[in-house]
Structure 1
């Protein structure tokens, strides 16, 4: 491609958006034309700016990334999320995304992923590609609704997955751009809603549901 790929960043964390903007701004082949923080601002920005590729967080105020794709079809969508849970990956791909990468990706890798999506390729972080293959092979029942998981808010799910993987409260706070106190509050709510008593039980619960 001879022209720079026009990119819109959609994420509800301002600090993360600024970080991604700075990383992509260093690449001559990518032109960040705007940012959005929720479903409504994303839909408006897509209509106004007509980006080539939208970097889309899965969990957004107003309905989530899938709602953005439903309301604003047209550009190519690349999910960029802290979540690598099977149901998020598969649901987002079914919603119309051309790829899904996690926020552990480097700046250079993200630029490469954007260009691959812009030229028609599907892009996944290595572990996530397996979820998609399993889903289409019938190994994951993506239509099943887990009543326990459904009790949690989107933010509680994010905290739950990171804690279950062994992250400290401080590491979770840094990853999600929230305070340690907020992490503690969400963790208490998660354990109460799931009727669990420890991180060990939470890890086993999450592993049984293929959330890790």
Structure 2
């Protein structure tokens, strides 16, 4: 029997998942949570085998932050991200946070059951197109060479700004945090992208993740 904790801010979604999963004798729903804080507390108390975690749960703590904190408190717990976000940025951030798997809410029921079984057994699970994207990214990196060596060409200020941009802070927020002008932030951002050979923010996020520059605490 695989013990599961459901985490989603929509009660209707949790009810639907509970009906679906408990129709399979392999699964037992031992608890529910509506945000990240509730999830952390429930997981510590109930010790589920798998946490089925949503990403966005306003106004509470989001799924990525909860995943990161849970993996520190309960390193052996399996967390499967179940989300509507078919997006490279969220995918890479979830993997960095310690998620065992990532699957879309639009996936067939059978795929969700397979994903839960897989992570419960200690394996990783990604939906098929995500796996293809990761493989493509790996091959592209091999062909163009490792861009990480370019990191040393960044100035100290550019190294400060890089992770802030990757985390999604606006130019104004970065300027206020570093006590510099918005125009200066824009200039540094442009320099960072040029020096690292990057064109889009998702590419910057991937770079920051691979370089180990992000901390979501």
Normalised by the size of structure 1, how large is the TM-score? 0.62
The alpha-carbon deviation at position 136 of structure 1 amounts to 5.0
Tell me what 2:2 maps to: 5
User: Are residue 46 (structure 1) and residue 43 (structure 2) matched?
Assistant: yes
Note the 1:28-177 alignment, pairs <5 A.
Answer: 28-61=25-58, 62-73=60-71, 74=74, 75-135=77-137, 145=165
Structure 1: gaps spanning 5 or more residues = 152-207
C-alpha distance in 1 between matches for 2:18 and 2:163 = 35
Distance in 2 of aligned mates of 1:58 and 1:138: 28
RMSD: 2.8
Per-residue CA deviation, residues 59-96 of structure 1 (Å, 9 max, x unaligned), is 22333212112222221011100001100011001110
Is 1:15 equivalent to 2:12 in the alignment?
A: yes
Q: Following TM superposition, by how much is the alpha carbon of 1:150 offset from its aligned partner in structure 2, in angstroms?
A: 5.9
Q: CA 1:59/1:137 → structure 2, altered by over 3 Å: closer, same or farther?
A: farther
Which has more radius of gyration?
2
Q: 1:77 to 1:137 in 2, by over 3 A?
A: farther
Q: Tell me, yes or no, if the aligned pair for 2:37 and 2:61 is still in contact at 8 Å.
A: no
5+ unaligned residues in a row in structure 2: which ranges? 142-146, 148-161, 171-199, 203-217
Q: Distance in 2 between matches of 1:67 and 1:136?
A: 26
Question: Closer, same or farther in 2 for the Cα pair 1:46/1:108, shift >3 Å?
Answer: same
Does the C-alpha gap of structure 1 residues 60 and 131 become closer, same or farther in structure 2, counting only changes over 3 Å?
farther
**Using the alignment, how far apart are the partners of 2:128 and 2:32 within structure 1?**
27
Deviation at 1:25, TM superposition (A): 0.9
CA contact (8 A) 1:89 1:131 kept: no
User: For residues 100 and 20 of structure 1, do their structure 2 counterparts lie closer, same or farther at Cα, with a shift above 3 Å needed?
Assistant: same
SS in 2 for 1:72: helix
Q: Which runs of 4+ in 1 moved over 6 A?
A: 141-144
Question: Is the Cα–Cα contact under 8 Å of residues 36 and 62 in structure 2 kept in the other structure?
Answer: yes
Aligned equivalent of 1:182:
none
Q: Quick one: structure 1 residues 138 and 13, their matched pair in 2 at CA, closer, same or farther if it must change by over 3 Å?
A: farther
1:25 has 2:22 as partner:
yes
Q: Name the TM-score, length of structure 2 as normaliser.
A: 0.61
